[in-house]
Amino acid sequence: MNDLETGRAALITEDGTMAAYFARPKGAGARPGLLLLQEAFGVNAWIRGVADRFAREGYSVLAPELFHRTGPGFEGRYDDFPAAREHLQALTVEGLSADLRAAHAWLEANGSAGDASAVGFCMGGRTAFLADAILPLKCAVSFYGAGIAPSLLDRAASLSGPVLLIWGGRDAHALPEQTSAVSAALRAAGKSFAVAEFSDGDHGFFCDARPAYHASSAARAWALTLAFLKTRG
């Protein structure tokens, strides 16, 4: 990892300090910023590894710990969702909005906010959609963001940048009527968006630490994500 600078940041939010993991290429110069938004299992080793992958692509990545109010430092096991549920259920749109603004301010202070995007997984996919609605982002990528419909559909008109919606065809947490509702809301709002459904993908198919991991779908989704981020605007 000697090609990267990595570490922990302490961000000031309306509700106290929020820790975050950052990864960026070594060396001087501005880098495009990327908010990397966690699954329900925290800013764990897998999320940190994804942050490093994006950093090697040239991004200055920040992964904020969105459970900082109820479980600072929480890293759950993929076979123990109940341990994550209490933290997940405690999240609010207001709290997440405050956290996203604090994370964006950190990128701004580190020279990247004017060229920032967001990528998120599961609950982070929903949060990436919210980030695009409240921050001046270049674009956002939402991996299987169950919960966008119906709770965030009224935010569609506020999106600042194009959004890529990645779904799994076998995902029981994001049924066709829900994914279609997201597209319909974006279309009605006149927003630029793209949709990719990976027919063999279940919920969490991108994560190689989960039983749902589907290697070929994950590889294609990674390539699509990088291309979308690089051609945003």
Return the CATH number at 65: 3.40.50.1820
What's the average model confidence in pLDDT over 74-87? 96
- Percent above pLDDT 90 for the chain: 92
Give this prediction's pTM: 0.97
> Does pLDDT of 28 surpass 90?
no
The pLDDT mean for the chain works out to 95
Quick one: pLDDT at residue 27? 84
What are the angstrom distances between the C-alpha of 74 and each of 52, 87, 130?
20, 9, 22
Number of domains in the chain: 1
Convert the pLDDT of each residue in 90-142 to its tens digit: 999 999 999 999 999 999 998 775 789 999 999 999 999 999 999 999 999 99
Is residue 117 within 8 Å of 107, Cβ to Cβ? Answer: no
* pLDDT for residue 48 is more than 60: yes
- Domain extent, residue 100, equals 4-230
- In angstroms, the CA 116 to CA 50 distance is 17
Q: Taking 60 as the threshold, does the pLDDT of residue 79 lie above it?
A: yes
State yes or no: pLDDT of 233 exceeds 70. Answer: no
Give the model's pLDDT for residue 190: 98
- Which pLDDT score, from 0 to 100, does residue 115 have? 87
The whole-number pLDDT of residue 8 equals 97
Tell me what percent of the residues of the chain surpass a pLDDT of 70.
98
Whether the per-residue pLDDT at 47 is higher than 90: the answer is yes
As a whole number of Å, the CA-based R_g of the chain is 16
Whether the Cβ atoms of residue 145 and residue 165 lie closer than 8 Å to each other: yes
pLDDT at 232: 60
Handedness of CA 158, 161, 162, 164 (dihedral sign): negative
What pLDDT, in 10s, does the model give residues 182-221?
999 999 999 999 999 999 999 999 999 999 999 999 999 9
Is pLDDT above 80 for 29? no
- Give me 141's structure tokens: 């990528």
Please give the Cα distance from 193 to 170 (Å, whole number).
22
